[in-house]
Amino acid sequence: MDKHEFKEWLLYHTSIFRSLGTWIAELPPNPPDGMASRSDTTDFWCRILRDASLEDAKAATERLAAGLEPEPRSRDSIPGCVARIARQIARDRAPPQLALTRPIDGEATVRCAQCEDLGMIYCWSAFSMQAVIDGTFGTRRRADGVIVHNQHVYGASVPCTCEAGDPWAKKRRGLRFDPKKWKPVLPYRMDERKEQEAFVEFVDGAYEEWLGTRETAISTESDF
């Protein structure tokens, strides 16, 4: 994304999240020493999003607005959060990359059957797992009688245990996929009741195993 595309994305994002637009507009153009100016802030955000396409960044904004991704913890983490979601959108759209290793029956094979050499496995998010534990996940009836649908239905990419997952694991403090702690899911099936029920059942059985990685998983997920 170049500067012109970034400006287009920022206008789109702030048209949805209006309070953010107000905050940016109120940043001083010439602040005292030690404070960031409006241009310093937006230039930094532009650098963070430089590898994202305009299309994917806008799609990331829409996912945040729809509640399909965890909210950024602060304004400072917004560009990193959008960049992470945009990367996942790009990976989901790309066809599996086959490693040209030993052919079987004339077909190229992959080194890792878990991630198909992508280095990442798409799973239910740590935030969703915590929501299951807290009793706030999925479709439920609130105390006031209102039925809430698909609450805290999030996905996240977890680094695989293979060589392709090594660089991703470094970014998440050594976190790796473990079938006892993470449940893979196809993004387009996350809203299905059967998938959500299976996930809740999984969390009930994986709770003790998952506690050991809970802090690392949640603290690194929104910035990944």
Q: Is the pTM of this model over 0.75?
A: no
* Domain co-membership, 134 together with 79: no
Which of 15-24, 74-83, 147-156 tops mean pLDDT?
15-24
Domain co-membership, 83 together with 180: no
Q: How far is CA 97 from the centre of its chain?
A: 21
Residues 122-146: pLDDT tens digits?
999 888 888 888 888 886 666 677 6
Q: Which of 95, 122, 142 is the last residue in one of the domains?
A: 95
Residues 89 and 125 both lie in one domain:
no
The CB-side HSE value for 146 (13 A sphere, CA atoms) comes to 4
Q: What is the mean pLDDT of the chain?
A: 82
Ranking 43-47, 66-70, 73-77, 100-104 by mean pLDDT, the lowest is: 100-104
User: Do 201 and 121 share a domain, yes or no?
Assistant: yes
Buried b vs exposed e over 42-72: b needs ≥16 C-beta within 10 Å?
Answer: beebbeebeebebebbbbbbebbeeebbbeb
Section 192-199 average pLDDT: 89
Enclosing domain of residue 69:
1-95
Same domain, 124 and 207: yes
Per the structure, the count of domains in the chain is: 2
